[in-house]
Amino acid sequence: MTAMKPTLPPLTERSNVLRWLRRNLFGSWMDALLTILGALIVYWVVKGFLTWALVTADWRVVAANMRLLMIGQYPIAQAYRLWIGLAFLMFLSGNSLGIWARQSRFGPVLLLAPALLALLPFGAEPRKWLIILTVTGLAGWGLGLLRPEVLKRSVIAGWVISLPIFILLTRGFSESASGFMPAVQTNLWGGLLLTFLLTVVGILFSFPIGVLLALGRRSELPVIRLASVGYIELVRGVPLITILFMAQLMLPLFLPPNVTIDRVLRAMVGITLFSAAYLAENVRGGLQAIPKGQFEAAHALGLNGAQTMIFIILPQALRLIIPILVGQFIAVFKDTALVAIVGLLDLVGIARTVLAQPEFLGRQREVYAFISLIYWLLSYGMSYLSQQLEERLGVGKR
């Protein structure tokens, strides 16, 4: 393609703000009316919200219960373990940014976020840790910039073991209360911590199961195909809440009286199995979009069935469905709120107990606004990351 010189706009079309306004917002009397009406509505909504948020609202309920909202009833003396886990994740994030997103100016700014949060009125202990988070993040970033080739493998290994490490730190090791990192029972896990763990476990485990189910549905072996179709259609045919009810309330009826399966684990399994069925259909959509020629070309090169799938088909199919996958992951994140209905104190569950504290009765708006903000920030974060990934992989462009 030959490069074209950009065409300069004609001199009379000198653009300025007034001209732009007149053309786009006040082109006709109808446009003008709509513009004014729209502006008024925006003004009322924004003014109403700001008046409430800055004047009427009493945010003490959130400040006093910050710990409950973040980690639930998790013992405060053991909270340092969660901070260590977070610091590890921050280091890995910084490292990854340094290695794979060297040009990005946004990355390092993101690493400063915890330090900025420390400006909010938290206690001394959280402040100290928030600053440590930024320091470890920046340290990881710097190392990644300096030695990208050396660290590539270790950072990937780090991500692989990050979830088990985080869960181990949360759960603890020693059974006795005085030992090293005493165990914290899962009934004390709550707030954002529980929401986070349910989401991450749900996403990580449902993904491979979903891919296998999708492949199984396209299998030529009838038993595997029928089993996959049966599973997918059965699970997609019932609401998640019924699966959670089954897991939390019906399961004990079928188990011997002394066998108890941890409730949080039951919720994790329920969410994983539910999400896997949806993912399977998303992946199948991606697989169907791959032209037959790709299979034939792979065979012509002498690849066997597994190699064709792993090296040729799946990478293309998964790249195609990144937007749908991320949509599903965000859905999983928000669906975890349903565990509040079966009595787990996740972010929504703990918010509802906070509302029953006698000194904060009637503070629904503040509490729900705060947890909505958390949900939105994290959902938008996932969405933003996926857009970056799409850009990198050129989804929809090549």
Partner 1 sequence: MRKTFWLVSLLVVVSLVLAACGSPAATEEAAAPAAEPEAAAGPAGFGSTLATVKERGSLICGANSQVPGFGFVDADGNFSGIDVDYCRALAAAIFGDAAKVEFRPVTAAERFTALQSGEIDVLSRNTTWSLARDTELGGNFTSTTFYDGQGMMVPVDSGITSLEGLEGGTICVQTGTTTELNLADVMASLGISYTPAVFEDADSTFGAYAESRCDAVTTDKSGLVSRRAVLADPAAHVILDVTMSKEPLGPMVRHGDDQWFDIAQWTVFAMIAAEEYGITSANVDEVKSSATNPEILRLLGVEGDMGLKLGLSNDWAYNIIKLVGNYEEVYNRSLGPDTPTYIPRGLNSLYTDGGLLYAPPVR
CA–CA distance, 218 with 108 (Å, rounded to integer): 44
- Taking the least distance from each CB to partner 1, the nearer of 136 and 206 is 206
Q: Which stretch binds partner 1 (CB under 8 A): 6-14, 142-150, 151-159, 249-257?
A: 249-257
Residue 259 interacts with partner 1 (CB under 8 A): yes or no: yes
For 371, how many CA atoms within 13 A lie in the half-sphere containing its CB?
26
- DSSP reduced 3-state for 346: strand
DSSP 177: T
Cβ-based neighbour number of residue 209 at 10 Å: 17
- Per CB under 8 A, the list member of 358, 394, 397, 398 interacting with partner 1 is 358
By the rule CB under 8 A, 64 interacts with partner 1: yes
| Separation in Å, CA 396 to CA 323, 326, 390, 393 | 10, 15, 8, 9
Burial class (CB in 10 A: 0-12, 13-18, 19+), 41: exposed
Could you tell me which residues are beta bridge partners of residue 64? Answer: none
Considering only 123, 164, 237, 293, the residue that binds partner 1 (CB under 8 A) is 164
Q: Say whether residue 349 binds partner 1 (CB under 8 A).
A: yes
Nearer CB in complex with partner 1: 142/252:
252
Does 289 bind partner 1 (CB under 8 A)? Our answer is no
Q: Which of 226/310 has CB closer to partner 1? A: 310
**C-beta of 19 vs 352, nearer to partner 1:** 352
Block residue for tokens 């949900």: 375
Could you say whether residue 58 binds partner 1 (CB under 8 A)?
A: no
Q: Note the Cα 103 to chain centre separation in Å.
A: 24
Question: Taking contact as CB under 8 A, which single stretch among the options 8-16, 22-30, 115-123, 251-259 is the one that binds partner 1?
Answer: 251-259
Site for partner 1 in 304-333 (CB under 8 A): 304-306, 309-310
300 binds partner 1, rule: CB under 8 A:
no
Q: How far is CA 290 from CA 3, 44, 46, 101, 389, in A?
A: 33, 50, 47, 29, 20
Give the binding site for partner 1 (CB under 8 A). Answer: 64-65, 67-68, 72-74, 76, 164, 167-168, 171, 185-188, 205, 208-209, 212, 215, 245, 248-253, 256-265, 268, 304-306, 309-310, 341-345, 349-350, 352-359, 361-362, 364
